[in-house]
Structure 1
Amino acid sequence: MTATNQDQAEYWGKSASGMKWLTFEEQIAASFAPVVDLLLDRAALEPGQRVLDIGCGLGDVTLAAARAVGPTGHALGVDISTPFLDRARQRSSGMGNVEYALADAQTEPFAPADRDAMISRFGMMFFSDNVAAFANIARALKPGGRMTFAAWGPLAGNPWFYIPHRAATDRLGQMPKVDRNAPGPLAFHDIDRVTGLMAKAGLADIEARASDLNLTPPGGLTGASALCTRLGPAARVLAHFDGSEADEAAIRDAVSAALEPYVEDGRVLMPATINLFQARRARTA
């Protein structure tokens, strides 16, 4: 792995923050289920296809893809976190058309022209060299094979990020600023920038659009505010400032108050802007 992607492997495979995705597995899956539906609707997978899922995490999308392509197809989930892959394999027990691999998709020598489609839910924004990653993944596709991936849109359209961040920084202070285009959750917020990188990697038929949907964190207001405080920006601010239990409780209360406008019939429907990208491997490649 490159040095930067090795940092990502350390974060997602060993850090306390990364391991929270295992702790809150069910809540995260429920929250992001609408994103999976959007992704698979656009990918339009067909029975018998061979699919590559990049940044598969705990296997939510890989499993959905395996069901879509059926027993004559195959889904390969790739991630850089061994604990995530261990859990994904447990969840896939008994399914004969699913496989997982520990790999850095930026550099992994995938079997060439082996896959009909590539998909990813929030797994493409962490590479140190996006052009190299796009080109390497494209080599795994058959000529004309299509990649479809979802990424977070601009911060202003995603209260999942800005509400917890505001609550945490109001309580504890600002963290050092980072480049929003650097590897991280919001790195693909700028559609024009990303499509330019895709073109530079030699991809064809590039399309991208922002889609508005509602995330569906479970547990009502209490569950949603707890999840938003324990993951993402609030958790990073708490860790940076070594926040106390009292700090966490205060941030959670602030998040809860800010989420109240999104409660409908006891459910939290949190608006989100998701950038959906598609492209094909050039047929002449």
Structure 2
Amino acid sequence: MRFSASTPENYEKYFVPAIAAPMAEDLMDAASIRPGERVLDVACGTGVVTRLAAERVGSKGQVAGLDVNPAMLAVARSLTQTETPIDWYETSADAMPLADDGFDVVLCQMGLQFMSNKRQALAEMRRVVRPGGRMVLNVPGPTPAFFSDFAQALARHIDPNAARFVDVVFSLHDAEELRSLMTAAGFEDVKIAKLKKTLRLPPPHEFVWQYAHSTPLRELVSAASDVQHDALTDEVAQRWQDAVADGVLTLDVDMTTVMGWA
């Protein structure tokens, strides 16, 4: 498969419907967002969680999305068609240009593991939550066997650095580590829930390239030769043929959802 669109456009086209949107629905249910609330979505990407939050708070609520990647935010802005206006902020999570106590709820979907200073980012999220407000985040892991195979194949056929990205994606899932991070940031009554999420994905020979071109892996895989491309495709398709039925790859991912109160 060849991809001419930008990484954020591919992310919205492929990653969001296959992975981010199903996870977002679970996150919204866990957060129990109510009409009229003020919600901040941190590491919002192209805004799938942000838009769902806007639908739930309605016209009397307030919603903001925050991301460090301007290209992701450009796609998010282009897709906004909710009755609730959304404010978009291009900034890192560990230095938010936002007032104290400005939100009832802060959300973060599959983003904390990528933040270099997790403690400071969570401290900032705590700062902008009003007293009695809540923070809800989710993270995937440990690494599903499919992605372990994918990482090994990437390292073997493309570049050893490619496998490191997959490792980071699933690097933060230990309950005690998450509880410690949340408590250190000042959140109280921290609740942690684990859920196995079943995803229905395109067949492996399509999914691996859709995923790669929707993530920071794109820079590495775009330089792959046809021989490397075919070798990676063949290995992943062969390893996961038993998980494919009627053209659909079924993948189970363990998700951890964390809630803390300000």
TM-score normalised over the length of structure 2: 0.87
Question: How far, CA to CA, are the matches of 1:153 and 1:275 in structure 2?
Answer: 8
1:29 match: 16
Which residue of 221, 224, 242 maps to 2:207? 224
Identify which range, 226-235 or 196-205, moves more after superposition.
Answer: 226-235
Question: How far, CA to CA, are the matches of 1:278 and 1:58 in structure 2?
Answer: 23
Q: Contact conserved, 1:215 with 1:272, CA < 8 A, in 2?
A: yes
Give 5+ residue unaligned stretches, structure 1.
1-15
Q: CA deviation at 1:180?
A: 9.7
Paired letter, 1:216: R
Question: How far, CA to CA, are the matches of 1:102 and 1:275 in structure 2?
Answer: 27
1:263 match: 244
Q: CA deviation at 1:138?
A: 0.8
Q: CA deviation at 1:238?
A: 4.2
Q: Deviations over 1:130-152 (max 9, x none)?
A: 22211111111111111111112
Q: CA deviation at 1:121?
A: 1.2
Question: How far, CA to CA, are the matches of 1:202 and 1:248 in structure 2?
Answer: 47
TM-score normalised over the length of structure 1: 0.80
Q: Percent identity?
A: 24
Q: Contact conserved, 1:206 with 1:277, CA < 8 A, in 2?
A: yes
Aligned pairs, number: 258
Which residue of 179, 190, 193 maps to 2:174? 190
Which residue of 54, 64, 89 maps to 1:76? 64
Question: How far, CA to CA, are the matches of 1:185 and 1:25 in structure 2?
Answer: 18
Which residue of 30, 42, 47 maps to 2:30? 42
Corresponding position: 1:153 with 2:141: yes
Q: Contact conserved, 2:39 with 2:105, CA < 8 A, in 1?
A: yes
> Using a 3 Å threshold, how does the CA distance of structure 1 residues 164 and 232 change in structure 2: closer, same or farther?
farther
What CA RMSD, in Å, does the superposition of the two structures yield over aligned residues?
Answer: 2.8
Q: Deviations over 1:54-92 (max 9, x none)?
A: 000001110011111111112100000111111111100
Which residue of 175, 193, 196 maps to 1:212? 196
Q: Contact conserved, 1:160 with 1:272, CA < 8 A, in 2?
A: no
Paired letter, 1:22: E
Q: Contact conserved, 1:160 with 1:228, CA < 8 A, in 2?
A: no
1:274 match: 255
Q: CA deviation at 1:43?
A: 0.8
Question: How far, CA to CA, are the matches of 2:165 and 2:16 in structure 1?
Answer: 28
Paired letter, 2:147: F
Q: Deviations over 1:83-108 (max 9, x none)?
A: 11111111004644322111112111
Question: How far, CA to CA, are the matches of 2:241 and 2:214 in structure 1?
Answer: 19
Give 5+ residue unaligned stretches, structure 2.
none
> Using a 3 Å threshold, how does the CA distance of structure 1 residues 42 and 264 change in structure 2: closer, same or farther?
farther
The residue matched to 1:199 in structure 2 has which SS? Answer: helix
Which residue of 123, 128, 141 maps to 2:129? 141
The residue matched to 1:85 in structure 2 has which SS? Answer: helix
Question: How far, CA to CA, are the matches of 1:166 and 1:177 in structure 2?
Answer: 7
Question: How far, CA to CA, are the matches of 1:24 and 1:128 in structure 2?
Answer: 22
The residue matched to 1:107 in structure 2 has which SS? Answer: coil
Question: How far, CA to CA, are the matches of 1:52 and 1:225 in structure 2?
Answer: 31
Question: How far, CA to CA, are the matches of 1:255 and 1:176 in structure 2?
Answer: 15
